Amino acid sequence: MKKLINAPDKVVADALEGLAAAHPSLAVDLENRVVTRAEGPRPGKVGLVSGGGSGHEPLHAGFVGYGMLDAACPGEVFTSPVPDQMLAAAKAVNSGAGVLQIVKNYTGDVLNFQMAEELAADEGVEVRSVLVNDDVAVEDSLYTAGRRGTGATVFVEKIAGALAEQGADLAAVAAVAEEVNARSRSFGIALSPATTPASGQPGFTLDESEIEIGVGIHGEPGRRRGPIASAARLAETALDAISDDMPLSGNVLVMVNGMGGTPLIELYIVYREVQRLLAARGVTIARNLVGNYITSLEMQGFSLTVCRLTEQFTELWDAPVQTPALRWGR
């Protein structure tokens, strides 16, 4: 295993110190492992908290800032954060308007965020949760009952974050978050595995010309293995899996996400294919993201996420955002 680390058990702690040093806009509570906005909560604003295992950077800490998250709770690599972290986050960002937890559907995350919700209630903090479960590849998987939560998390955090910034109440912010999840689908394809620092071994193995079709963000098995194919063919595979599950029409928001080890030039090639396929089906990509937004350490491959836009979604997507990983309009 060759990694730029000091020791496997120091990865998250060291990275959080680096994050704190690099971004004065963030406040990093190293003891509780909670990343918040440096300026603190704004009175009357719903607080948005997310979190999950580390190794998916820039998710979630890279999305803390104006117009998106108020706090992120990073767990160990590919491991859920603990309820105490989430509770600390909820208390740190609560300004009286309540807190929305954005939870990717993995059993550990779900249980821990649920416990945090109860602990927060005991302390008089109103917390609600929205579950993200957009990955159409498989029902149930390693670590998950039901569908896995993947790329739609970025859309939920941005769109619900914008609505919260505008002063909407907790019920409205939760409702739009649920609606974004309901209108979004994802599908991923891996060309290579990832190695967690703790294990030191690849999470799975692939032959020289083999790929994992429908892979999860922790390397969970997908639908099948097959030979590497052209970008055009792989884009079609991902898009068909999505559109078979949710017919597409009108305006969509598309993310072609890199899994961490894929060159940007390849992601643009995939985006070109997705754009052509959608255009041929009469679907317009009104907004897009191309790059590394929800990664799996150094895994090579991509995931495609498509969200059927509403007018409200588009407006909220375009609203100003100022985070380390996503910035525009302000």
Q: Which is nearer to a copy of itself, 177 or 325 (by Cβ)?
A: 325
Interhelix angle 170-182/152-165, nearest 10 degrees:
150
User: DSSP class of residue 61?
Assistant: G
Cα 104 to Cα 150: distance, rounded to the nearest angstrom: 7
Size (the chain), residues: 330
Q: Which residues bind a copy of itself (CB under 8 A)?
A: 2-7, 11-12, 14-19, 21-22, 54-55, 57-58, 62, 77, 191-192, 208-209, 211, 228, 230-232, 234, 260-273, 275, 285, 288, 290, 292, 295, 297-298, 300-302, 327-328
Q: Which is nearer to a copy of itself, 160 or 238 (by Cβ)?
A: 238
CB of 4 to a copy of itself, least distance (A): 4
CB of 134 to a copy of itself, least distance (A): 21
CB of 218 to a copy of itself, least distance (A): 14
Q: Which is nearer to a copy of itself, 90 or 270 (by Cβ)?
A: 270
165-169 long-range contacts (CB < 8 A, ≥24 apart) are 165/45, 165/66, 165/67, 165/319, 165/320, 166/319, 167/44, 167/45, 168/46, 169/46, 169/97, 169/98
Q: Which is nearer to a copy of itself, 45 or 56 (by Cβ)?
A: 56
Find tokens 């690599």 and name the residue. Answer: 77
Cα 131 to Cα 173: distance, rounded to the nearest angstrom: 13
CB of 243 to a copy of itself, least distance (A): 19
Which residues carry out catalysis?
Answer: 56, 218
